[in-house]
Structure 1
Amino acid sequence: MAVLPSISESSLEAICNSLADAASHKELTRLFTQCGIDECGGTPKWERMLMALASRQRRDGCGNNVFGFICAVLHPSRFDGRLQQFEDFRARVNYQLSFLGLAINEKGQPQHVTAATTISEAQERASDLHSELERRSVHADVLRFCKAELLQDNYFHCVLEATKSAAQKIRDRTGLESDGGSLVDQALSIKTPRLALNTLQTESEQSEQKGFANLLKGVFGTFRNVTAHAPKIHWAVDRSDAMDALTIISYIHRRLDEAVVVPPTSSPS
């Protein structure tokens, strides 16, 4: 494993505060043991983490074991059914790590990102994009991804997370568990839909449903799948790209909100 840089004590303290609600005291004890990190005291959870991690980092002279612990806390398996909590914890941690040019990805592993230079740089980007999207009346479920923590990554992570939110909304509304094209086909089927944009009684109405399904598949293929699998250096997302992508995703969210949920055992006549 490559040597990872040490995290400054102020940033480490902020990370520990951010993760204080991500594990119980009992879970912390198990995680410390799992990661081979000795406890050094402390009463609140953030203090237990800070004292143990700071001590281990000084001993190691690098951040590898500290990152190992952070990744253990943020392992996706610990957040089954709590996707939004996972993303909130990850965003707060990544805000601090971005100044080192690192981030915890959606798999709970460290990855290199474009290093932030100033706090105001990220905040200005977030404010600028947020204001323009508000002017366009972009859906609230999209606006919440326009955070400084996400935009530290040059819009790349912002677009990726907003795209994933559309798939999650389909799952939340239908109870389906699949993803990508399979999820779209199940949810927006003409014969046995789980979400219906209209009554599906005429050819025109069925065409609208099919067209929306194709739009969703296109968005997943263009933004989500590419950003999830390609290195960012090969798939740059600038402000204009982000603006257009988020506007399209806003339209998708509105149509999903308006769609009628169809029980699994029935479909529109």
Structure 2
Amino acid sequence: MVSKTVSEQHLKAICDVLADTNKGLTKSEIRNLLNQCKVELVDDGYSNNGYIYTVGLSKSNWLYNCFVKNINSKQSFENVYLFIEKSIDPVSYTSEKKRDKYDFLFEELNKVLLLSGLSVTKEGKLTLAVKAKTLDEVDRRVNSLKKHLYNRAIHQEVTKYCIKDYLRKDYYDAVFEAAKGLAERVRIISGLTTDGGVLFQKAFSKNDPYIFFNGLSTANEISEFVGLKELLEAIFHLVRNPAAHTPKVNWKVDETKALDILTIISFAHKYLDVCHRIPTKW
């Protein structure tokens, strides 16, 4: 067990993660873990005599008060760190329905802990770490989203346009910028200056193309050529146009959908890697 201390501000941030209203531990889970770690449960301010009902402290503030009392009593963070380890023990999250909670706690805890010079491993063990100094550094070291992009072999032309938005979980802007980057790539290759469907139809015209990646001499080659054009058009119809004309708050894009969209855009870029401008168009 590490013996490092953390500041009050960092301890409060740790409690905010552990007791997050939507994805954190429930109050009963917190109570059970506190008992296991021999941390005394302080009064949470809740009362109900049948006539008067008092809400009491939030889960986060209650947990923080429990931790502070234990630290002051023991003059040690040992029980608090034991609580963190038990809260992220993989054995508690083996069922599929609990994986989202585990992912949330693992990622968000590490974001706070790295700023204190600590980290928690996938095995649920707290260890010393090189202290992060900025939020950008935290994102680079912790954020699992970038790993997802890497695992899917997302094209660098996609990440160039959207990685900052993606890492801060702004999936709307991430897919929107990636789609716009696709059109920009076609403009660079073709020399054309238009956008959207007009751009793709002219660049990949069967009769007077500006771009080629095969000889267009067989039915299969023509089909593949037209298929790429239609893929580009479909991406714009499904992603770029709705994002451009729908208020951001109304166009919902979660992580899974964003990854799927970025994977499709990446696939199109890999085709564009082998595309060239028709020599007569120079």
Q: What's the TM-score once normalised by structure 1's chain length?
A: 0.50
Q: Secondary structure at the match of 2:194?
A: coil
- Name the residue aligned to 1:236: 252
Correspondence 1:155 to 2:171: yes
Q: Which residue does the alignment assign to 1:252?
A: 268
- Separation in structure 2 between the aligned mates of residue 259 and residue 207 of structure 1, nearest angstrom: 15
Q: Distance in 2 between matches of 1:168 and 1:158?
A: 15
Counterpart amino acid of residue 132 in structure 1: H
In structure 1, the residue matched to 2:226 is: 210
Which of residues 135, 141, 158 is equivalent to 2:157?
A: 141
Report the Cα offset of residue 263 of structure 1. Answer: 2.7
Alignment of 1:129 with 2:145, yes or no, is: yes
Structure 2 Cα separation of the partners of residues 189 and 260 of structure 1: 14
For structure 1, the 5+ residue unaligned runs are 1-117
Task: Give the equivalent residue in structure 1 for 2:183.
Answer: 167
CA deviations over 1:196-221 (Å, ceiling 9, x no partner): 12100111111111111111000011
Answer yes or no: is the 8 Å Cα contact 2:165–2:173 preserved in 1.
Answer: no
In the TM superposition, 1:71-110 aligns within 5 A as none
Matched, 1:220 2:236: yes
Q: Distance in 2 between matches of 1:177 and 1:126?
A: 40
Code of the aligned partner of 2:202? Q
> 1:153, 1:141 → 2: CA distance?
19
Asked if 2 retains the 8 angstrom alpha-carbon contact of 1:138 and 1:250, the reply is yes
1:199 partnered with 2:215: yes
Larger radius of gyration: 2
Identity within the alignment, %: 37
Does structure 1 retain, via aligned residues, the 8 Å contact 2:176–2:240? yes
Provide the C-alpha distance between the structure 1 equivalents of 2:262 and 2:142, rounded to a whole number of angstroms: 13
SS of structure 1 residue aligned to 2:279? coil
Deviation at 1:126, TM superposition (A): 8.7
Alignment correspondent of 1:176: 192
1:130 offset after TM fit, Å?
A: 1.5
The Cα shift of 1:245 comes to: 0.6
The count of corresponding residues between Structure 1 and Structure 2 is: 149
1:25 maps to which residue?
Answer: none
**2:171–2:253 Cα contact (<8 Å) kept:** yes
Which residue of the partner structure matches residue 59 of structure 2? none
- Alpha-carbon distance in 1 for matches of 2:276, 2:266: 18
The answer for the alignment partner of 1:185 in structure 2 is 201
Inter-partner Cα distance in structure 1 for 2:259 and 2:240: 15
Paired with 1:126 and 1:265, the residues of 2 have a C-alpha distance of 47
TM-score, normalised via structure 2 length: 0.48
CA apart distance, 1:151:
4.8
- 8 Å contact from structure 1 (residues 126, 151) kept in 2: no
Query: C-alpha separation between the residues in 1 aligned to 2:151 and 2:186?
Result: 26
Structure 2 contact 178–265 (Cα < 8 Å) conserved: yes
